[in-house]
Structure 1
Amino acid sequence: MTETPIAIEARNAVKSFGQGAVAVRALDDVSVQIRRGEFFTLLGPSGCGKTTLLRLIAGFETPTSGQILLGGEDITHLPPNKRPVNTVFQSYALFPHLSVAQNIAFGLEMQNRPRAEVAATVARMLALVQLEPMANRKTSQLSGGQQQRVALARALAPTPKVLLLDEPLSALDLKLRKEMQIELKRLQQETGITFVFVTHDQEEALTMSDRIAVMSAGHIQQVGSPRDIYTRPANRFVASFIGETNFLTGTSDGTRVVLGNGAAVDVTAPKGPVTLAIRPEQVRIAGVDGGGMPATVASTVYFGTDTHLHLTLSDGTAVVARQQSPAAGGIDAPKGAQVGITLPTDALQVLGE
């Protein structure tokens, strides 16, 4: 099987701001490879270094040390206008006095492309983002979602090798943001261009990405597919940042872990204190006579099709279980009810720090 070529690579990238005792290291020896034609997401909380890494790829910042490569070529010190890379910003940065078509054409005209080529490309981009009826309308007259599409079309028009997207959906309302997530993935698949997407929104990352790099404090904690990141988190930070997770502490003898409430689970883990993780939807709930670990319902949160039960084990450990709402077949367990829970061994993850 032929290996997919690498589009972008960061090698031991370090970026510090300031000097001396007040210096802040935004990126600390970051290395990552982004494959050609994939939708790759940099995910993490504010200040984790994801936007700094994007700016190094774009050429808006120069690394303190390390390299940035594009298609195997060192572009570390190449100015932004010399890189076959385009960026879509959170603010869109459209020209309000120009029409949709003129905004899309702007970059091509700055490159002195032939007029016929510009017209054909603009027509193709308008069709791609489904804005043909809006071609002659001023961008100031468009909705937020339509402006986002214009910004994408303008960035895609020169056919960059890599498209960088810096939290471009954060200003949209929830419904429109979900629609644009699907739209972005469609555009990436249709164009085949490598997308590097920055977000702090876990759902966005899981919805759109081929692979995700989870970042924290200037480091990449884990790189993998959405499924790998969710089901096999590398450490406690990744497990807690991606979705909801229950953490259970206990002591391992190598093949079993005894939890704080005295219950034992058959899990292979290094001897000594360990932390286990399990997702709320993997916690199984039974009635009072259903066996399992005894737990008390502290509160319930209704989400329509499912309900989150906030439980307390006998040692005070808090556990969240997600189940179908009673109307859909779930157990009706009001506050204060006593229930039994089981933790499937194949769902328990042994975490590093």
Structure 2
Amino acid sequence: MPETPIAVEARNAVKTFGQGAVAVKALDNVSVKIRQGEFFTLLGPSGCGKTTLLRLIAGFETPTSGQILLDGADITHLPPNKRPVNTVFQSYALFPHLSVAQNIAFGLEMQDRPRAEIKETVARMLALVQLEPMADRKTSQLSGGQQQRVALARALAPAPKVLLLDEPLSALDLKLRKEMQIELKRLQVETGITFVFVTHDQEEALTMSDRIAVMSAGHIQQVGPPREIYTRPANRFVASFIGETNFLSAQSDGARVVLGNGAAFSVAAPKGPVGLAIRPEQVRVVAATEAGAMPATVDSTVYFGTDTHLHLTLSDGTIIVARQQSPASGGVDAQKGAQVGVVLAQDALQVLGD
């Protein structure tokens, strides 16, 4: 099977703002390849460099060193208006005095496209984002979700090779944000355009992405499909940033690890002290009398509707969180102060580096 061509590539990209003692290195030798037709997400906390990398691809910033390539061609110093790339901003930046159709047509008109082509493209974009009945409305008369779809349609209308999205869902309420996650992924699949999406929201990244690049302090920590990022994080930062994670200290003899409470697991690890990680859904709470279970005390329970999180303390003082479906099954007493047993899924234990 032939390898998917690369749409966008950053090669050893460095971006430094300021000079001397006040210089800030927003990107530190970042290299990444984004495939054609994929939904690729740059994920990380504020200040990690994800928006800076997006701006280098868009042409709004020039790297201090390194290269940006599009379809294999060096576009590092090409101005934004010469790149077959469009950007959807957090603010949408719509024209309130124009109708929905006029907003979508604006970019095409600036490119002097034929009138018939503009009309046909606008109609196709309105259908794509399901806004045909609102074509003649002013954008100021639309809801936040509808405005966001107009911004997407306007950006997609010129058929860019790459669409850049800079946290476009952050201004929406939770319910609408979840709906738009599905909508965005649908648009990407239907158009086949490469989407590069920036967010600090791990749920957005896991829901929509084909692949995710997790960033921290100007570096890419890990690149991979959502399931791989979640189940096999490369290091402690990725494990802690993506979802909830329990971190445990252990001693290893090379073939097994032993926790502070004496519980042993057949997990290969370097000899000496090691750090382990396990997700809360891989922690099972059972009766205190169950054979092989580690004794623990319930500190508190947090109800999330479909899930309940149990905060527990093991006999050596280690704090651990278990997630189980609500209502808790098995008849285990999960009240504060209750004595319970804890069973860890051995194949879910991971040895993590720094």
TM over 0.5: yes
Q: Any idea what the Cα deviations from partners look like across 1:245-292, whole Å, max 9, x if unmatched?
A: 000011111011111222211110011111000000001111111131
Q: Alignment partner of 2:133: what SS? A: helix
Contact 1:10 1:31 in 2 (8 A): yes
Cα distance in 2, alignment partners of residues 212 and 311 from structure 1:
32
Equivalent residue runs for 1:265-304 within 5 Å: 265-291=265-291, 292-304=293-305
Name 2:324's counterpart in structure 1. 323
Moved more, 314-323 or 325-334: 325-334
Name 1:346's counterpart in structure 2. 347
Name 1:227's counterpart in structure 2. 227
Q: Alignment partner of 2:153: what SS? A: helix
Equivalent residue runs for 1:83-94 within 5 Å: 83-94=83-94
1:328–1:303: structure 2 CA closer, same or farther, 3 Å change rule? farther
Moved more, 334-343 or 232-241: 334-343
Contact 1:325 1:331 in 2 (8 A): no
Q: Any idea what the Cα deviations from partners look like across 1:175-209, whole Å, max 9, x if unmatched?
A: 00000000000000000000000000000000000
Q: Alignment partner of 1:326: what SS? A: coil
Cα distance in 1, alignment partners of residues 333 and 175 from structure 2:
31
Moved more, 172-181 or 301-310: 301-310
The Cα shift of 1:39 comes to 0.1
Name 2:309's counterpart in structure 1. 308
Counterpart check, 1:241 vs 2:241: yes
Partner letter of residue 352 of structure 2? L
Contact 1:86 1:160 in 2 (8 A): yes
Name 1:37's counterpart in structure 2. 37
Name 2:4's counterpart in structure 1. 4
Partner letter of residue 230 of structure 1? Y
The Cα shift of 1:327 comes to 6.0
Tell me the TM-score normalised to structure 1 length. 0.99
Q: Alignment partner of 1:268: what SS? A: coil
1:188–1:330: structure 2 CA closer, same or farther, 3 Å change rule? farther
- The count of aligned residue pairs is 353
Partner letter of residue 348 of structure 1? L
Counterpart check, 1:13 vs 2:13: yes
Contact 1:27 1:219 in 2 (8 A): yes
Cα distance in 2, alignment partners of residues 269 and 222 from structure 1:
21
Q: CA RMSD in A?
A: 0.9
Contact 2:332 2:340 in 1 (8 A): no
Q: Alignment partner of 2:288: what SS? A: coil
Partner letter of residue 213 of structure 1? A
The Cα shift of 1:325 comes to 2.1
Cα distance in 2, alignment partners of residues 74 and 330 from structure 1:
63
Q: Any idea what the Cα deviations from partners look like across 1:33-60, whole Å, max 9, x if unmatched?
A: 0000000000000000000000000000
Q: Any idea what the Cα deviations from partners look like across 1:216-263, whole Å, max 9, x if unmatched?
A: 000000000000000000000000000000000111110111112222
Contact 1:14 1:28 in 2 (8 A): yes
Partner letter of residue 268 of structure 2? T
Equivalent residue runs for 1:102-181 within 5 Å: 102-181=102-181
Tell me the TM-score normalised to structure 2 length. 0.98
Q: Any idea what the Cα deviations from partners look like across 1:140-168, whole Å, max 9, x if unmatched?
A: 11000000000000000000000000000
Name 2:211's counterpart in structure 1. 211
Moved more, 257-266 or 126-135: 257-266
Contact 1:69 1:76 in 2 (8 A): yes
Cα distance in 2, alignment partners of residues 328 and 144 from structure 1:
41
Moved more, 248-257 or 145-154: 248-257
Cα distance in 2, alignment partners of residues 329 and 210 from structure 1:
37
Unaligned runs of 5+ in 2: none
Contact 1:295 1:311 in 2 (8 A): yes
Cα distance in 1, alignment partners of residues 205 and 238 from structure 2:
13
Cα distance in 1, alignment partners of residues 352 and 326 from structure 2:
30
Cα distance in 1, alignment partners of residues 330 and 263 from structure 2:
28
Contact 1:255 1:268 in 2 (8 A): yes
Contact 1:323 1:330 in 2 (8 A): no
Identity in percent: 87
Contact 2:251 2:271 in 1 (8 A): yes
Name 1:73's counterpart in structure 2. 73
Cα distance in 2, alignment partners of residues 293 and 95 from structure 1:
62
Partner letter of residue 301 of structure 1? V
